Amino acid sequence: MQKREQGFTLIELMIVVAIIAIIASIAIPNLLSARLNANESAAIATLKNISSAQAQCQASGVIDTNNNGAGEYGYFGELSGARNIRGATNTITPPVLSTAFGNVAADAAGDGVVTRSGYHFKMWLPDAAAAGLPEAGTGGVGGTAPDSTRAEVLWACYAWPSAFGSSGKRTFFINQSGDVLASKNVVQQYGGTAGAAGTAPPDYHAAFLAGAELDGQVAANTLAMDGETWVVVN
């Protein structure tokens, strides 16, 4: 008796491939959407943690470059204990922010940026005119130190996707008020740190009303300087 050969026909294989393709077309977008939502939620939570760390730093008075008894806000390198606090030879011990924020890297402009869960984070402190001074590319103070008096009351931080559309879409902002703002990022499409068109990070006053510095009015629930509409995240 001749043994019958076992296997699949071409039509059966084509049906299986078609089913797999249909399942993939449904599952992959859902997985991508879930990833984006997770990264954006993590960015919001991280900004709130940064706000708490800044409040703790300022209240403790550990940074007080003008020795007036009023504490000042810090950069990631200072808050995480990775760099000496400005005007001193010691670090914040214990650090008020996760030591992971000590891993500061330079962007295309040489400014300090921290990357976490598909998002870049950049801290700004004020100069004497309340314009934003970025962190050094290696963490902590860069070429110009923040103004002592203004740094007692002002700071700002942005979080934007490391790869727009694949690691996140929305851009987020927080400052000393403690409110997280978000833009849909449809006009600027902030992403990455290269500085080229479509990959540039937000400037320090991107989420403020036109003409405002760090001491000005934030564009909460309205159009901001960068052309994006920023809304308060509940």
Instruction: Tell me the per-residue pLDDT of 144-164, one tens digit each, with 9 for 90 and over.
Output: 999 999 999 999 999 999 999
The pLDDT of residue 17 is above 80: yes
Query: How much of the chain is helix, strand and coil, in % rounded to 5?
Result: 25, 20, 55
Model confidence at 193, pLDDT cuts 50, 70, 90, reads confident
Distance CA 195, CA 159 (A): 15
Distance CA 175, CA 179 (A): 7
Model confidence at 31, pLDDT cuts 50, 70, 90, reads low
Q: Check: CB of residue 142 under 8 Å from CB of residue 20.
A: no
Q: Check: CB of residue 79 under 8 Å from CB of residue 95.
A: yes
pLDDT given for residue 234 in this prediction:
77
Among left, alpha and beta (phi > 0; psi -120 to 50; other), residue 91 is: beta
User: Both tokens of residue 83?
Assistant: 């760099």
- The percentage of the chain sitting over the pLDDT mark of 70, rounded to a whole number, equals 90
Per-residue pLDDT tens digits for 56-97: 999 999 999 999 999 999 999 999 999 999 989 999 999 999
The 10 Å Cβ neighbour count of residue 149 is: 15
The pLDDT of residue 28 is above 90: no
Task: Please give the average per-residue pLDDT across 188-213, as a whole number.
Answer: 86
Backbone angles phi, psi at 202, to 5 degrees: -70, 145
The 10 Å Cβ neighbour count of residue 116 is: 17
Distance CA 53, CA 63 (A): 13
